[in-house]
């Protein structure tokens, strides 16, 4: 049933990655993405693959769970790889040639690099931002990182509050949908037969109660917030304060060092494909 969708994919745990500050994890993901797109040498990519493997191992999250995320984009991945493989024109003679298809060494290299980039991107951002961070911690982190924007009057707090509330109600809504579906099924409702119109009509007994209860939730929440004198972000303190700890600094330093070495490698090791960026 609907409830079997574990919301947000957060995977409870106590690993170092779980305990990092959400802001650190957001920054780490960004740095990682930059590194991935700056890297040009094979050694750099090997280094990144190794690093990702270490993080995956550290998080103690089952391999299968993490790779589910990749399965979702597998088609896209294969498609881009194929395009790179077949459409890249190299300088030397083609390695393989039949009919109109010519495959160059550069094509293979580019297809592999693109694939590695996308896979690592998904793995790392998934690992940092969804598997080891609760959605609420993530929005707190985003709010805190964006808070300088308050100076130019962007309502960062209200924005984060909206996201938090929306996230908070997703499980509730899923649970209620489940209950309403069950209740109407118990009254003999049939959602899976008949034509398009009949099926659309069959949704009414589910949508009406959900709409009614959503509006009621919104009203109740608004009242509850007013009763506790909620007046927006100004002067508001937090129950859970985000604090950077030593481990956050060490981790950032570590990944920055990796980034620096990738940058240096670009300059000192012959680059296989200078025009990697026409894409």
Partner 1 sequence: MNILELRDVSYTYNRGTPFEELALDSVSVGFEKGKITGIIGHTGSGKSTLTHLLNGLEKPSSGDVLLCGESIWEEPKKIAQIRFRIGLVMQYPEYQLFDETVRADIGFGPRNMGLDEDEIARRVDEAARFAGIAPELMDKSPFDLSGGQKRRAAIAGVLAMRPEILVLDEPAAGLDPRGRTEILGGLRDYQRSRNATILLVSHSMEDMARYCDNIVVMNQGRIYVTGTVSEVFARSEELQSVGLNVPEIARIANGLIRRGIPLSGDLYTVEGVRRAILSYVKGECEC
The gap from C-alpha 225 to its chain's centroid, in whole angstroms, comes to 30
Q: From the CB of 53, what's the least distance to partner 1, in Å?
A: 22
In terms of CB distance, is 140 or 176 closer to partner 1? 176
Q: Nearer to partner 1 by C-beta: 191 or 263?
A: 191
Q: Name which of 60 and 150 has its Cβ closer to partner 1.
A: 60
Between residues 187 and 267, which has the closer beta carbon with respect to partner 1? 187
Nearer to partner 1, 148 or 223 (CB): 223
User: What tokens appear for 2 in the block?
Assistant: 């609907």
Token output for 263: 């940058």
Closer Cβ to partner 1, 41 or 65, answer by number: 65
**C-alpha triplet 248, 251, 256: angle, nearest 5°:** 125
Kindly state the smallest distance separating residue 180's Cβ from partner 1, in Å. Answer: 6
> Cβ–Cβ contacts within 10 Å for residue 62, how many?
11
CB-neighbour burial class of residue 108 (10 A; exposed 0-12, middle 13-18, buried 19+): middle
Q: Are 35 and 262 in contact (CB under 8 A)?
A: yes
CB of 11 to partner 1, least distance (A): 7
Provide the minimum distance between the beta carbon of 188 and partner 1 in the complex, in angstroms, as a whole number: 3
Min separation Cβ 182 and partner 1, Å = 5
- Using CA atoms, how far apart are residues 213 and 143, in angstroms rounded to an integer? 29
Interface positions with partner 1 (CB under 8 A): 3-4, 6, 11-12, 176, 179-180, 182-190, 204-206, 208-209, 212-213
Q: Which residues contact 131 (CB under 8 A, 6 or more apart)?
A: 9, 10, 11, 59, 61, 65, 66
Q: At what angle do helices 22-38 and 135-146 cross, to 10 degrees?
A: 80
What's the min distance (Å) between Cβ of 276 and partner 1?
40
Nearer of residues 147 and 213 to partner 1, judged by Cβ: 213
The 3-state DSSP composition of the chain as helix, strand, coil percent (nearest 5) reads 70, 0, 25
Please tell me what DSSP assigns to residue 62.
-
Residue 131 Cβ, how far from partner 1 at the closest point, in Å? 11
């Amino acid at each position: 049933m609907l409830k079997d969708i574990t919301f947000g994919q957060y995977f409870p745990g106590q690993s170092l990655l779980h305990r990092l500050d959400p802001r650190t994890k957001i920054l780490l993901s960004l740095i990682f993405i930059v590194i991935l797109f700056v890297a040009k040498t094979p050694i750099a990519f090997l280094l990144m693959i190794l690093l990702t493997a270490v993080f995956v191992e550290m998080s103690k999250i089952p391999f299968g769970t993490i790779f589910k995320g990749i399965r979702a984009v597998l088609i896209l991945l294969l498609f881009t790889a194929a395009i790179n493989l077949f459409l890249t024109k190299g300088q030397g003679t083609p390695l393989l040639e039949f009919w109109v298809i010519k495959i160059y060494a550069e094509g293979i290299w580019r297809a592999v690099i693109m694939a590695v980039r996308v896979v690592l991107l998904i793995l790392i951002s998934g690992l940092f931002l969804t598997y080891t961070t609760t959605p609420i911690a993530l929005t707190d982190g985003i709010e805190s990182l964006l808070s300088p924007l308050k100076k130019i009057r962007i309502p960062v707090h209200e924005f984060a509050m909206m996201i938090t509330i929306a996230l908070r109600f997703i499980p509730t809504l899923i649970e209620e949908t489940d209950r309403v579906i069950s209740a109407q099924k118990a009254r003999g409702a049939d959602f899976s037969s008949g034509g398009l119109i009949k099926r659309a009509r069959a949704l009414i007994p589910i949508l009406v109660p959900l709409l009614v209860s959503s509006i009621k939730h919104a009203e109740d929440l608004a009242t509850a917030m007013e009763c506790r004198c909620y007046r927006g972000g100004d002067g508001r303190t937090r129950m859970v304060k985000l604090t950077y700890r030593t481990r956050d600094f060490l981790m950032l330093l570590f990944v920055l060092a990796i980034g620096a070495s990738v940058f240096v490698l670009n300059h000192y090791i012959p680059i296989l494909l200078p025009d990697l960026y026409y894409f």
